[in-house]
Chains A and B, each alone.
Chain A
Amino acid sequence: MNLSRTARASLWAALALGLGVIYVPLGVVLLNSFNSDRTFGWPPQGFTLQWWSAAWRSTGLRDALWTSVQAGLGATAIALVLGTMAAFAVQRYRFFGRDTVSLLIVLPIALPGIVTGIALSNTFHSVLGIPLGLFTVIVGHATFCVVTVYNNVLARLRRMGLNVEEASADLGADTFTTFRLVTFPMMRSALLAGGLLAFALSFDEIIVTTFTAGAGVRTLPIWIFENLFRPNQAPVVNVVAAALIVVSVVPIYIAQRLSGGDPQTR
């Protein structure tokens, strides 16, 4: 498509503005983590690594990080198993209510977190009598983490078709061998992409976590939220935010590469 010079320039400007709104504040966070002024005066007064070393020494922060990693891994593991099984059922078999099941699996990601949170909290605490803790956080996160795995695997199965599995059976492989040598390897990147997204979703979740965590369990987002308004801790929170920006770029980049790529080309 041919655009005039002015049209092209204004489209570029719109793009720059849109991306700027998102990424300039993140840049400010990164810069402020090195800002020697405790109140984040602007422009930065000087460069310091003291907030980074304070963050490194904070045991509350380290405990919260470890809790978050456990919750993320647990929720991702459940999501991988259930999401894959659900995707196979919906894609490979015809059964009564299949479309409804598919909708019900995807729905939790659209449900407001506060609704999921209240619902789960009530059910765990009052109905089932399960004490709130890390386990309930993991289950709570898994409800929406399943969706990312489900969607990724479903899309891959759809694109894969049945042909390669038929070819494998035709060449003498039984069902299990076919899964091991053909189906699973072809699904692997979809599982990785879905798993990374699931982990990322769980890692920064705060609403459902608040309702399902109970008193003793503190994930990283909850720790940040609690410390955000304490003047002493504010610079450390900034460091955590900066570190998370850097760390989250990597899995999202990988996930995008994996789910966007055509399996035929790999």
Chain B
Amino acid sequence: MFPVMPHQAVTSVTIPASDHAVRLRGLRKSFGSIVAVAGVDLDVADGEFFAMLGPSGSGKTTVLRMIAGFESPTGGTVELGGRDVTRLAPFERDVNTVFQDYALFPHMSVLENVEYGLRVKKVPKAERRARAMDALKSVRLDGFEKRRPAQLSGGQRQRVALARALVNRPRVLLLDEPLGALDLKLREEMQVELKAIQREVGITFLFVTHDQEEALTMSDRVAVFNQGVIEQVGTPAEIYERPATAFVAGFVGTSNLISGAAARTVLGKDGTFSVRPEKLRVVLGDSGDPDPVGSDEHSAEGTVSEVVYAGPATRFVVELDAGGRLIALQQNQEVSSMDVMGLRGHRVRLVWQRRHEFAITS
């Protein structure tokens, strides 16, 4: 349905200052004695689809609100397109926001909602009407312009909120948990649609989410927030395959850590290491294969304590002899639930390639 485009190669490379849509330096925010944001540096490039991912209370929404201008920072600066806007009011900034609950104006029609930004900027009536209709068309809501927000479904309201923001052609579009209020099916549809709209308009999208899957599937880059600071910034693959900290390893995907004595016994080195569950191969203790471990691989023996059958795959929870536990995810290519459920209590050996284990700073 959508043209396949080469993935933008936006990684941690240095970008010239003028190409920064958003640049945050030493951004801090306290509410009384509570520190919500404790020093955030961030560069978002023009045209990027950028996610701020983190659990609730991690400061991501506060950062978004400081970029929009709803909160004034306790310290640090906010730059938009190279211009310091830290002290400017929301209506003086070239950003628009899609709110979590959409915040549509209930006393206005869909068209009046979308026209609002152009109306307060004194765009002539004929032009603003045409642009609003275009925006509604781009979110596939033409024909709905006379309705009131209360007469729309959740997904339609979400698209009105999007059109209302995009019609102003902002430098940056901020999205605060934009899909949070939608049910699963609609959310998956909107993920694809948002991504397509962003490609079409070419505006920088900066969105906040607590859903790691949403962040990984939609964004060019992700910043993982925890307790008011950024733990890691990178492409979805970097974040997932090479989590920099124990928090990222645990929050993005399943935490599979080997540390302390187990690390010394199994890996022969000190520190904390992460291996993703799908990288582990489960070898049964009585498979008859004396040494299934290759020279570029590591392995650990243990006992299956739990088996979770989940349709296409099965999760094995394995208590290691060396201490700690690992979770292994196996595709159910040939087995059925009957086969795997019987494995609880069995001795197994987990095998993985060394290049899939990563040191974690704790």
Q: Is the CB of B107 within 8 A of A185?
A: yes
Q: Is the CB of B68 within 8 A of A170?
A: yes
Is A244 an interface residue, CB under 8 A from the partner? no
Known: A166-B99, A170-B68. A177 touches B120 (CB 8 A): yes
Which residues of A are found within 8 Å of B149, using beta-carbon distances? Answer: 264
Which residues of B are found within 8 Å of A181, using beta-carbon distances? Answer: 116, 119-120
How long is the Cα–Cα vector from A264 to B149 in the complex, in angstroms? 8
Is A171 an interface residue, CB under 8 A from the partner? yes
Which residues of B are found within 8 Å of A100, using beta-carbon distances? Answer: none
Q: Is the CB of B105 within 8 A of A167?
A: yes
Q: Is the CB of A170 within 8 A of B96?
A: yes
Is A157 an interface residue, CB under 8 A from the partner? no
CB distance from A160 to the nearest CB of B (A): 9
Cβ-Cβ contact count across A and B, 8 Å cutoff: 72
B106's nearest neighbour on chain A, judged by CB, is A264
Which residues of A are found within 8 Å of B116, using beta-carbon distances? Answer: 168, 171, 173, 181
Q: Is the CB of A171 within 8 A of B120?
A: yes
Question: Which residue of A164, A169, A170 contacts B105 across the interface (Cβ within 8 Å)?
Answer: A164
Is B164 an interface residue, CB under 8 A from the partner? yes
How long is the Cα–Cα vector from A171 to B68 in the complex, in angstroms? 10
Q: Please encode chain A, from 178 to 196, with 1 for each CB lying within 8 Å of some chain B CB and 0 for all others.
A: 0001100110000000000
Which residues of A are found within 8 Å of B107, using beta-carbon distances? Answer: 185-186, 263, 266
Known: A172-B120, A264-B150. A167 touches B106 (CB 8 A): no
Question: Which residue of A166, A172, A263 contacts B106 across the interface (Cβ within 8 Å)?
Answer: A263
Q: Please encode chain B, from 113 to 148, with 1 for each CB lying within 8 Å of some chain A CB and 0 for all others.
A: 000110111000000000000000000000000001
Which residues of A are found within 8 Å of B150, using beta-carbon distances? Answer: 264-266
Q: Is the CB of B105 within 8 A of A163?
A: no
Q: Is the CB of A166 within 8 A of B70?
A: yes
Q: Is the CB of A166 within 8 A of B120?
A: no
Which residues of B are found within 8 Å of A166, using beta-carbon distances? Answer: 68, 70, 90, 97, 99, 103
Which residues of A are found within 8 Å of B106, using beta-carbon distances? Answer: 164, 186, 263-264, 266
Which residues of B are found within 8 Å of A169, using beta-carbon distances? Answer: 69-70, 89-91
Question: Which residue of B103, B121, B148 contacts A167 across the interface (Cβ within 8 Å)?
Answer: B103
Q: Is the CB of A174 within 8 A of B103?
A: no
Is B231 an interface residue, CB under 8 A from the partner? no
Is B168 an interface residue, CB under 8 A from the partner? yes
Which residues of B are found within 8 Å of A168, using beta-carbon distances? Answer: 105, 116, 120
Residues of A in contact, count (CB < 8 Å)? 20
How long is the Cα–Cα vector from A264 to B116 in the complex, in angstroms? 18
A174's nearest neighbour on chain B, judged by CB, is B91
Q: Please encode chain B, from 137 to 180, with 1 for each CB lying within 8 Å of some chain A CB and 0 for all others.
A: 00000000000111000000000000011001000000000000
How long is the Cα–Cα vector from A164 to B103 in the complex, in angstroms? 5
In A130-166, which residues have CB < 8 Å from any B CB? 163-164, 166
How long is the Cα–Cα vector from A163 to B103 in the complex, in angstroms? 6
Which residues of A are found within 8 Å of B104, using beta-carbon distances? Answer: 164, 167
Q: Is the CB of B105 within 8 A of A172?
A: no
In B77-124, which residues have CB < 8 Å from any A CB? 89-91, 95-97, 99, 101, 103-107, 116-117, 119-121
Known: A265-B150, A266-B106. A170 touches B120 (CB 8 A): no
How long is the Cα–Cα vector from A182 to B104 in the complex, in angstroms? 10
CB distance from B132 to the nearest CB of A (A): 12
CB distance from B106 to the nearest CB of A (A): 5
Which residues of B are found within 8 Å of A186, using beta-carbon distances? Answer: 105-107
Q: Is the CB of B91 within 8 A of A173?
A: yes
Q: Is the CB of A171 within 8 A of B103?
A: no
Known: A167-B99, A171-B96. A182 touches B105 (CB 8 A): yes
CB distance from A218 to the nearest CB of B (A): 42
How long is the Cα–Cα vector from A169 to B121 in the complex, in angstroms? 12
How long is the Cα–Cα vector from A164 to B70 in the complex, in angstroms? 12
CB distance from B218 to the nearest CB of A (A): 22
How long is the Cα–Cα vector from A166 to B71 in the complex, in angstroms? 11
How long is the Cα–Cα vector from A172 to B88 in the complex, in angstroms? 12
CB distance from B175 to the nearest CB of A (A): 12
Which residues of B are found within 8 Å of A185, using beta-carbon distances? Answer: 107
B interface residues (Cβ-Cβ under 8 A, vs A): 68-70, 89-91, 95-97, 99, 101, 103-107, 116-117, 119-121, 148-150, 164-165, 168
A interface residues (Cβ-Cβ under 8 A, vs B): 163-164, 166-174, 177, 181-182, 185-186, 263-266
Q: Can you spell out 13 A-B residue pairs with CB atoms less than 8 angstroms apart?
A: A163-B99, A164-B105, A166-B70, A166-B99, A166-B103, A170-B68, A170-B69, A170-B91, A171-B116, A181-B120, A264-B106, A264-B150, A266-B107
Further contacts, 18 of them, CB under 8 A, given A181-B116, A265-B150, A266-B148: A166-B68, A166-B97, A166-B99, A167-B97, A167-B104, A167-B105, A168-B120, A169-B70, A169-B89, A169-B91, A170-B69, A171-B96, A172-B91, A182-B105, A186-B107, A263-B106, A264-B106, A264-B149
